[in-house]
Amino acid sequence: MSWKTVYEKWQADEGLDQDLKKQLDAIAGDPAKLEDCFYKNLEFGTGGMRGEIGPGTNRLNIYTVRKASEGLARYILSSGEEAVKRGVVIAHDPRHFSAEFTLEAAKTLGAHGIKTFIFDSLRPTPVLSFAVRYLHTFSGIVITASHNPPQYNGYKVYDEFGGQLPPAEADEVIKFVGSVEDELTVKVGDEQALKAEGLLQIIGKDVDDAYQENLKKLSLNPDIIKKVGSNLKIVFTPLHGSSYHPIVNGLKNWGFTNVTVVKEQAEPDPEFSTVKSPNPEEHTAFKIAIDYGKKLDADILLGTDPDSDRLGVAVKDEQGEYTVLTGNQTGAVLLDYLLTQRKEKGTLPENGIVVKTIVTSEIGRTIAAAFGIPTVDTLTGFKFIGEKIHEYELTGAHTFLFGYEESYGCLIGSFVRDKDAVQAAVFAAEVAAYYKSKGKSIYDALQDIYEKYGYFEEGLESLTLKGIQGKEEIDSILNDFRDHPPVQVSGVAVDVIEDYEKSVTTNVKSGSKTAITLPVSNVLKYKLDDGSWFCLRPSGTEPKIKFYFGVQGKDAADRDTKFAALKTEVMDRVHGLVSK
């Protein structure tokens, strides 16, 4: 069916939502915009779906949300009566139409007799993950586009263990979503009738309180917080997102009383009007928080993205200026503190394990190894870390200690199965309090880690390539590196090539090959003789291809030189391919 035929079907639908009808009328004379709205169905992938809000099958709107929910409903129905009774819990962030999409999802599920729990207001993604486990539901949904620009929204699906759907289950749901032929005819229940039947239930405080009780148990040094908790100056910004109450309450419950919230960014705002991007990975997002920090002489600045699964941390450097730590640096400091304290207290399990992604710094593996703790790698995406936690629970092979990824996400307590900025924020505050009691800062601790374990540095470059042509260019870049792999980069020989699409690791010198046991993914990673590495990975949620880099130097100058040379040579080749 051509995009014009689908567009005409929408235009002819007498029951079409009036706001969407007006938006279609407004672009009626622009075939290019209409084609972009209708040339394909918004893809429901392994992480759910994410896209621009607007009319059409390639946009997020009440009809594409209903289609996704109809597919999920069919999957739940196929899973048996118990799955239907256990139902689904849904949370949402402050984005445009998040509350409306939440209700549409609930009404679609309710039309099939599937019980749904929705929160009384916005909640972070990690609280949704916790709620799935706490309420013993069969599934969960978060309406969020994470850190994307304001015109985006999304739909993420969780399994009964509180993690994002692993590949096998995701494939099943994708198949059911694909079986929904017409998004405009999906049936929905009546909100009030569903409430009266007990199929739609509003939740809130009970879940919040239970989450906070579990959060308290993560504290390793409450006595130190009692001593310095009132003196530790914390500045916190939710960046207009969903983390205000959970983090403020969490800090208070742990004993931190000197907390200043960035007033200009405290209230939910779907436009995220004070920042260019509501992403703590972007250092500019900390601009106002840094102004607060300077006025207050704050010890630590904390910032979260809209759905509060990513945490950014800023601390003073040796010049007294605030520097925003990378996700790898924050992870290294938290991990080193956790392992050190648990070893001192005799609570470090013999079968402990650290889990990270293939594009996360090797410093974590080095730190863990010093404590006799192994590290396992997963594909990019925290759902794979959550899947590992569940596996270890079932087998008893390991006790999960810490999981993290370079993109500012980590997990300490396994009562949540997705990255959790609430956990990370309060734990980072405790780490800051610990080092303050020793006359040090988190920045000082990071320098000590480098001195002890090696001078690591990592970075990320992204190319945004939109539309059909962009997808072809992304494929072309990957194919070029796959078919013509570099022999050396910046004068250093390539030692190992990991091709996650072909599931093969190749030793370049010997030519020997070993199987990769992780799920298939269109990712390439190259490891060099000196411990440096780089990785190519197309984004699963945005029209981007990402390039990750990592090096280890004998000192800071050596590290920086290696990193600049590696990144420059790889990106020069990439830009040459795109400009052809």
List, by residue number, the catalytic residues.
Answer: 146
State the Cα angle at 355 between 175 and 311, rounded to 5°. 85
Q: Which residues of 210-223 are buried (b: 16+ CB within 10 A; e: fewer)?
A: bbbebbeebbbbee
**Greatest C-alpha distance within the chain:** 70
Provide the phi-psi class of 566: left if phi over 0, else alpha when psi is between -120 and 50, else beta.
Answer: alpha
Element containing residue 410 per DSSP (H, E):
strand 409-411
What is the spatial distance between Cα 163 and Cα 130, in angstroms, rounded to a whole number? 9
What is the spatial distance between Cα 401 and Cα 414, in angstroms, rounded to a whole number? 9
What is the spatial distance between Cα 163 and Cα 388, in angstroms, rounded to a whole number? 10
Q: What is the three-state SS of 509-559?
A: CCCCEEECCCCCCCCEEEEECCCCEEEEEECCCCCEEEEEEEEEECCHHHH
Are 122 and 94 in contact by the 8 Å Cβ rule? The answer is yes
Are 415 and 299 in contact by the 8 Å Cβ rule? The answer is no
- The values of phi and psi at residue 22, to 5°, are -65, -40
What is the spatial distance between Cα 87 and Cα 200, in angstroms, rounded to a whole number? 10
- The DSSP bridge partners found for residue 460 are 548
What is the spatial distance between Cα 33 and Cα 27, in angstroms, rounded to a whole number? 7
Helical H runs in 187-260? 191-196, 205-216, 222-228, 244-254
Q: What is the three-state SS of 96-162?
A: CCHHHHHHHHHHHHHCCCCCEEEECCCCCHHHHHHHHHHHCCCEEEEECCCCCCCCEEEEEEECCCC
Encoding tokens for residue 116? 């749904």
Helix, strand, coil in percent for the chain, rounding step 5: 45, 20, 35
Provide the phi-psi class of 346: left if phi over 0, else alpha when psi is between -120 and 50, else beta.
Answer: left
Q: Residue 53 gets which letter from DSSP?
A: B
